[in-house]
Amino acid sequence: MNCKKRCFHFFAIFAITTFVLSSCCREGRQLKIAVSKISGDHATNNYVKWLSGINPDAEYINMYAVSRDSVELIFEDCAGLLLTGGVDVYPGNYGKEYDTARCGEFDFYRDSLEFKLIELAMEREVPVIGVCRGQQILNVALGGSLYVDIPTDINTMVLHRCEDWQNCYHNVKVLPDNLLKTITGVDDGRVTTNHHQIIDRLSDELKVLAVSDDGLIESVGWRNTPDKPFLIAVQWHPERMDTTNRLSFPLAKRFLEESIIYKNH
C-alpha cells in the first residue's frame, strides 16, 4: 500500500470512528469522561482536544474542580477515567518520604483525589487510561513504587526530559502479544516525553507493555486480564503528538470505545 493509499485509509477510519462515537451521544446517551485534572480552558487543553477530536459530543469533567464532597457522586455518572500528567507524586505514598529533596512540586490534594478516583474506577470496573503522572500514580495506587529522579537514580543516555519540553522525543519498543500491541499495531515508535520520575518497583497487578531504549517502563496494563476492566497507561504524552502517530490516536479511540461499551452495558 503506497503512502497516498495509507493516508486515505487512516483518515477514512478516523472519519467513520468519529461519526459512530458522536452518533452514540446524539442519541441521548451522552458520554461523560472523568479527567483527573484539566489545566486551563477546555478549548485549549491538550487532553480535552485529544479526546474531543474523536468524540466532540462527550462531556469531559474536570474532577479537580469538583467539590470534595461531590467527587463520588459526579463520578457515578462517568463511563471512563483519564489520569493526566502533572506534578510529582509525593514519595511518602510509596515508602520514600525521606527522599523529597530531588523532587519537584507536590499536590497532596491531587494525590488523594486520584487515589480515590482509581479506587472508585476499580470498584465500578470503569475503563481507565493514564498518561505520564497518570501511569505513575496508577502503579503507586496498586502497590508499586517510583524512581524519585531518573538522572540521579539511573545511568542512562536516553533523555526523558529536556529544557525544551515541547521538542523532546525518544523511541519506545512495544513488547509482543499485549494490549498496546493490539491497539497500535506497531513494534516501536517515537514519542514525546517530559518526566523525571518513572516506575521503579512494578505493582504485582501490572505488567510491562513497552520500554524505552534504556529498558525503563513506558507502558503498563493488567498482568492478568480475564474479568478485568479496560486499563492502559503510558509514560509518554500522546495528547501532544500528531494524530497520525499510531502511539497516539489509537489509544484515545480505543479508550472512548471502551467507555461507550461501559456506558451502554
What is the reported pLDDT for 169?
83
pLDDT for the residue 29: 66
Three-class SS of residue 173?
A: strand
Element (H, E) at 123: helix 108-124
DSSP output for 26-62: HTT---EEEES---S-TTT-HHHHHHHTT-TTSEEEE
Residues forming beta bridges with residue 190, ordered by sequence position: 171
Instruction: State the pLDDT at residue 20.
Output: 47
Cell numbers representing residue 19 in the block: 461519526
Quick one: pLDDT at residue 21?
Answer: 52
Which pTM does this prediction carry?
0.87
Residue carrying the nine cell digits 442519541: 27
Grid coordinates standing for 167?
Answer: 521538542
Phi and psi of 209, rounded to 5°?
Answer: -110, -25
Contact status, residue 80 vs residue 128, Cβ threshold 8 Å: yes
Cell readout for 192 is 514525546
Query: What is the chain's pLDDT, residue by residue, as a tens digit (265 residues)?
Result: 554 444 444 444 454 455 545 444 444 469 999 999 999 999 999 999 999 999 999 999 999 999 999 999 999 999 999 999 999 999 999 999 888 888 888 999 999 999 999 999 999 999 999 999 999 999 999 999 999 988 888 888 777 777 777 788 889 999 999 999 999 999 999 999 888 889 999 999 999 999 999 899 999 999 998 889 999 999 999 999 998 999 999 999 999 999 999 999 8
Chain mean position to CA 155: 26
Cα separation values, 138 from 163, 192, 225, 228, 238, Å: 26, 20, 16, 15, 17
Closest among 151, 187, 193, 197 to 169, alpha carbons compared: 193
217 contacts 156 by C-beta, under 8 angstroms: no
**Domains of the chain with bracketed CATH:** 3-264 (3.40.50.880)
Using CA atoms, how far apart are residues 130 and 62, in angstroms rounded to an integer? 15
The torsion angles phi and psi of 86, rounded to 5 degrees, stand at: 165, -155
Q: How far is residue 84's CA from residue 152's CA, in Å, rounded to a whole number?
A: 25
